Structure 1
Amino acid sequence: MKLWVGTAGYAYPAWVGDFYPPGTSSTDMLSYYARQFSAVEINSTFYRPPTIEQVEKMCRKVPAGFGFTLKVPRSASHENSPDELPAFHRAAEQFAARDCLLSLIVQIPEAFRNSAVNRAWLVHIREQLRPFPLAVEFRHRSWDVDALPKWAAKHGFDVVSVGVPDIPTLFPNGLRAEGPRVYARLHSENADAWYSGGTARYAYDYPDATLTEWASGLTAAAAAGRERALVFFNNCVGIQATTNAKRLIDLLRETAPAIEIVPPPQPVEPKGLFDDVE
C-alpha cells in the first residue's frame, strides 16, 4: 500500500519561525512545504474554485510527484448549490493533467444528517465530479450505519476516517478501510473545545499512543490489500500538524516496512552547460 502523509493546508503565517524558516514569505511556503511532505490538502478551494492561473502557479512551485487533494466548495457541501461545481471540475482537470491530483474531498457539516434527500445530493456531487476520486467526510453519527460501505462503493465514494473526540453525535473516531483507498483526516480529540468556536478545537497535539493506534490501523489496511492511503493532519493551530505527521511517518517506518511511504519528491536540478560532456 502506498501512503501519502501531509497537513490540511500549508499557508499558515504562525508556522513561520517554527516549521518555515524565519522570514519565509507566503509566496515561498508551498515550495518549502513540498520539500518536507509528499502531499497537501488544499483548503482554499472550499471557499472558491481556483482559476487556471492559480493552478499553474501552485504546480510550478512543487516538484513532479507531489500530490494535491482539493476540498469541494462549501456552496456544494454546505449550501446544496451546484453553481460552482463546473468551475471546480475544470480546476481538478488542470491538476490531473499535471499528474498531481490525488483526490477530491467533500466535507459535509454535522447538521447534514443521513436522509434520502441528502444521500441523493451527495450522489449528485459525485456524478458532477467524475472521473476523479472523491472522499466524503461525514460529521454526524447518523451516517454510521451498516449499509454505508456498500452504498459508498456503489456510488464511488471513499469514506473518510476521522480523528475526532468521542462525542455521541459525531461520526466515530478511527480508521476505516472498507474500500480500496483510505483517506484519513486527523482533526483533534479535544472534546472540551470542540464546540467552543473558532480554531480552539484544533489546538491539539496527538500523543504517541494515539498515533501508534493509527499506525496499527494503516498496517492492517495494507495487510488487507488496500491500494493506497492519504493521511492529513488538520490540528493546524501551532505546528502540531507538522510534528504529528512526521512522527506518524517515523512510527510506520519502524513498524510497517510493507507500507510504501511516499517521500517528498526531490526537485530536479537544472543541468549545467557541460553536464552532458563526458
Structure 2
Amino acid sequence: MKDLHIGISGWRYAPWRGDFYPRGLRQRDELRYASRAFNSIELNGSFYALQTPERYRQWAGDTPTRFCFSIKGPRYISHIKRLRDAREGLANFFASGPLELGEKLGPILWQVPPSLGFDEEVVEQFLAQLPRDSQAALKLARDSATRKPGHWPEALGAQPLRHALEVRHQSFATPRFVRLLRQYGVALVIADAPRKWPYAEDLTARDFVYLRLHGDKELYASGYGEAALRRWSRRIEHWRRGSQPRDAELFDDSIAGDRHPRQVFCYFDNDMKVRAPYDASRLMQLLDLKLDDRQEPGQPAGDWS
C-alpha cells in the first residue's frame, strides 16, 4: 500500500536491545532491522543536531527500496528561534543533507514547544518560507553560510516537499490556525498524548495526514491495547479516503473532510517501555499492510545482516 506508512519515531533505544532487537544484533544493523519491520521511520536525531550528507546517504543505503523517512526539523528553528527569522536555520538544515535521501524523503515534521503560543503573523511568515519542492530547498541550502549543501539527483526532478506542524499550546485551537495551514498546504499533526496537548483531527494538507501516537494513558510509556489500535485503524481508513469519523475533534468544524484520498504517515512514539514497535506491528496487521520479506519484531535478523 503506497498510501500507508506505519512506523516508529527513532530506532536507537537501549531498552529495545534484547527485546525488539534480538540479542547479538550489532547496533550498526539496528536501522536495517527496523526498516524491514516497518515501511517508514521518523528520523528524530535531526531535531537535536544537524546531520551530514554522508549520514543521510548511509541511512538511505541501509533501508529497502520502498522505505521512506519522515524528518524532524531542528529545534534551533522551533524551540530557540521559536519560528522567527527562520531563513538561516532552514538554509543550514537543508544544507545538512536531507535531500540525499532522494525518493526515500517523506514529510518534514516541525514540532513547536508547549510554551509557544499562537501568533498568526509569526506562524504565517514561517509557513511562507518553507520550500515546497526539492529545487526550492536546494536553492535555500546554497544560502547556508556555514555548510556546503548536499545535492539532489537530476533524475528525480523537482520532487514536492511536504511539511507537518505539531503544536502543544492551547492557543492554537482556533480556526484561524487551521485556515493558515490549509492556505500553505501544511498538515496539522494529529498528536495523541493523553490530553496533555491540544488535540484535533483537521485535514489541512491536500494529499497526506500525519499522525503521532505518544502513549494511550501515560505519555511516551503506555502501550495501545487492542480496542485502541482498532479505533485508530478505523480512523486511518477514514483519513485515507479523505473523510472524517463522525466523532472527529476539530479546531475548525466548517470543513469536515474534502474527500481527497490521502497518504497516511503514522508513528508510534511510546518508546520508554518498548511498546512502540509492537503497537506499530499490530496496527500494520489490522490495516493489512504487508511488506516483502518482512522482518518480524524480536525475531532473528534476515539474510541482510
Checking the alignment, whether the CA contact within 8 Å between 2:73 and 2:111 is kept in structure 1 is yes
Of residues 101, 104, 113, the one that matches 2:105 is 101
Aligned-partner SS, 2:211: strand
In structure 2, do the counterparts of structure 1 residues 118 and 250 end up closer, same or farther at CA, with 3 Å as the change threshold?
same
Structure 1 segment 87-236 matched on structure 2, within 5 A: 87-90=92-95, 91-96=97-102, 99-123=103-127, 125-127=129-131, 130=137, 132-167=161-196, 170-172=197-199, 175-179=201-205, 180-190=207-217, 201-224=219-242, 225-236=260-271
Secondary structure of the structure 1 residue equivalent to 2:175: coil
SS at match of 1:184: strand
Structure 2 CA distance for aligned equivalents of residues 150 and 124 of structure 1: 14
**Number of residues paired by the alignment?**
248
Report if the CA contact (8 A) 1:177-1:226 is conserved. Answer: no
* 2: CA distance, partners of 1:2 / 1:118: 32
Q: Does the 8 A contact of 2:187 with 2:203 survive in 1?
A: no
Separation (CA, whole Å) in 2 of partners of 1:218 and 1:6: 14
Aligned counterparts of 2:292 and 2:115: Cα–Cα separation in 1: 37
Give me the TM-score of the superposition, normalised by structure 1. 0.81
Aligned partners of 1:175 and 1:184 also within 8 Å: no
The 1-side partners of 2:231 and 2:129 are apart by 33
Q: Distance in 2 between matches of 1:125 and 1:15?
A: 38
Identity between Structure 1 and Structure 2 (%): 25
Structure 2: gaps of 5 or more residues: 138-159, 243-259, 296-302
For 1:60 and 1:50, the matched residues in 2 are separated by: 16
* Alpha-carbon distance between aligned partners in 2 of 1:22 and 1:53, rounded to the nearest angstrom: 28
- The farther-off stretch of 37-46 and 137-146 is 137-146
Asked if the contact 1:126–1:156 (Cα under 8 Å) also holds between the matched residues in 2, the reply is no
Q: 1:176 to 1:209 in 2, by over 3 A?
A: farther
Instruction: Return the TM-score normalized by structure 2.
Output: 0.74
- Taking the aligned partners of 1:5 and 1:20, their CA distance within structure 2 comes to 18
Q: Secondary structure at the match of 1:69?
A: strand
Q: Which residue is 2:17 aligned to?
A: 16
Between the aligned partners of 1:110 and 1:127, the Cα distance in structure 2 is: 25
- The unaligned stretches of length 5 or more in structure 1 are 192-200, 254-260, 271-278
Distance 1:178 1:210 in 2: 24
Q: CA RMSD in A?
A: 2.4
What is the deviation of 1:265?
A: 7.4
- Alpha-carbon separation, structure 2, partners of 1:186 and 1:21: 24
CA–CA separation in structure 2 for the residues paired with 1:114 and 1:22 = 46
**Deviation of the 1:101 alpha carbon:** 0.4
CA-CA distance at 1:176 after TM superposition:
3.9
Match status 1:85 vs 2:90: yes
